[in-house]
Amino acid sequence: MGSLLLHWIYHSRRRESIDSWLNFSPWQTCLQTHKKVNHSTTAIAHPNVALIKYWGKSDRAENIPSTPSISITLSKLETKTTITEADIDTIWINHKKVNDKKILKFISQIREKTAIAAIKINTENNFPTGAGLASSASGFAALTTALNKHFSLGFTQNELSAIARKGSASSARSIFGGIVSLQGPSWEAAIVEQNSSWPLKVIIAKTSSERKKVGSSQGMELTRRTSPYYEPWIREAKSDFDDCLLAIKEQDFEKLAELSERSCLKMIGTMLSTSPPLIYWNPTTLECIQAIRKMRDAGTAVFFTTDAGPQIKAICTPESAKEVTKSLSSIVGPTNIFGCEIGGNARIV
C-alpha cells in the first residue's frame, strides 16, 4: 500500500513544476504510509568552488540567490552521507552528534511534502568541515541524493538541485559534476561543461582552521541591508555570468581568470563595505594572492578565488599545477594543500 501511494505521488507530481509540487499540501495525508525499513542508503557529493559568485538572496524563504553563479565541482574532496531510519531525527557529522538547525529545518521542509520517516544522518567529510571549503554544498547535495533514493522519491537530478538549494544555494550546484551554472528563473543548476573537455585543476591552500564567525546567510543579509555596493554588485552580476559562459565555451583561460578574480573581488568589496564589516581574509590569504598574481604576471596559467572564508582556491591548467602547488606549499605548508580536478555528480554508492 505504502509503495503504491509513493508511486502515485511520483507520477502525479510530474504534472507539476518542482516549486508548485513543494508547495502542494494534500499529499501530507500520505506521509504516514511509509513502512520503516532497516537498510541504510549512502550518497557521495563533492564541494564546488564558484568562479562567478553568488552573494545575496532575493527570496530568503525559498533560498533564491539574487545573482546567477558558475562553479567547478571538485574531485577528491567529498562528503559521504548515510541515512538509516530511526525513532527520532539525529545528525552525526564526522562522528560527533550535532544539533544542526539548518539540517533539521531542511528535513522538516522535505517531510512536509513527502513520506520520509525519522532518520539518523551520518555524514563524514574527507576535508575540513565549516572552514570555507564548501562542506555545506556537498553536505546538502549528498543528503538530498540519499533521501531521494532511500524513500524512492523519484526526483530527477534537476529537481534534486532545486530541493538541495533550499538547504544551501551553492549545494544546488554540487548535484552536478563538471562546470555548473545556477540561474533563474528555475534556480536549478545545469551542466555547462563536462569534466573531460577542459581539464582545469583547482589547488586549495588552507590558510586557517578557524570556523567562520559570521555564516554565509547572515553575512549576505547584512550585506544586502548595509553595503552601498550591494546594488551595483547585483546589477553587474548577469553580464559577468554571460561573459564567463562565453569564456568557458571558448576555453579562454585569460578571460576566465580576469572575470573570476573580478567577481571574487567585487563580492569581497561588498563584504568589506558591510556594516559591521565582514573581513574573511587573513594575512596568509593575501600572501597567497600575491604569489598567484606574480606567477600569472610571469606567464603561468593560474588565477585565484576565495569565498566567505580565508582559504585560497587557485585554478590553473594541468601544466601549471606543479609550480602552483610548490609556490602555495611554501606559504601554507604541504599538509594544507588539496589538489583537485573537476569532480563528478552527486551519486549513490
**Residue 245, amino acid:** L
- By beta-carbon proximity to ligand PMV, the closer residue of 159 and 307 is 307
CB 117 → ligand PMV: shortest distance, Å?
27
Kindly list the distances between the CA atom of residue 301 and the CA atoms of 5, 78, 258, 263, in Å, as whole numbers in the listed order: 55, 26, 11, 18
CB 308 → ligand PMV: shortest distance, Å?
4
- By beta-carbon proximity to ligand PMV, the closer residue of 115 and 162 is 162
- Give 74's DSSP letter: B
Instruction: Look up residue 5 and give its three cell numbers.
Output: 501511494
CB 102 → ligand PMV: shortest distance, Å?
9
Sign of CA dihedral 216, 103, 21, 147: positive
Instruction: Look up residue 338 and give its three cell numbers.
Output: 588539496
- By beta-carbon proximity to ligand PMV, the closer residue of 180 and 292 is 180
Instruction: Look up residue 312 and give its three cell numbers.
Output: 585560497
**Residue 156, amino acid:** T
- Are the C-beta atoms of 51 and 67 separated by less than 8 Å? no
CB 136 → ligand PMV: shortest distance, Å?
5
- Are the C-beta atoms of 308 and 240 separated by less than 8 Å? no
- Give 344's DSSP letter: -
- By beta-carbon proximity to ligand PMV, the closer residue of 221 and 323 is 221
CB 189 → ligand PMV: shortest distance, Å?
11
- By beta-carbon proximity to ligand PMV, the closer residue of 44 and 50 is 50
- By beta-carbon proximity to ligand PMV, the closer residue of 169 and 202 is 169
CB 216 → ligand PMV: shortest distance, Å?
4
| Helix (H) or strand (E) run with residue 204 in it | strand 201-205
Residue ranges binding ligand PMV (CB under 6 A)? 50, 53-55, 69, 136-137, 168-170, 216-217, 307-308
Instruction: Look up residue 277 and give its three cell numbers.
Output: 564589516
| Helix (H) or strand (E) run with residue 165 in it | helix 157-167
Kindly list the distances between the CA atom of residue 232 and the CA atoms of 31, 76, 183, 188, in Å, as whole numbers in the listed order: 45, 36, 18, 25
- By beta-carbon proximity to ligand PMV, the closer residue of 42 and 216 is 216
CB 129 → ligand PMV: shortest distance, Å?
13
- Are the C-beta atoms of 171 and 141 separated by less than 8 Å? yes
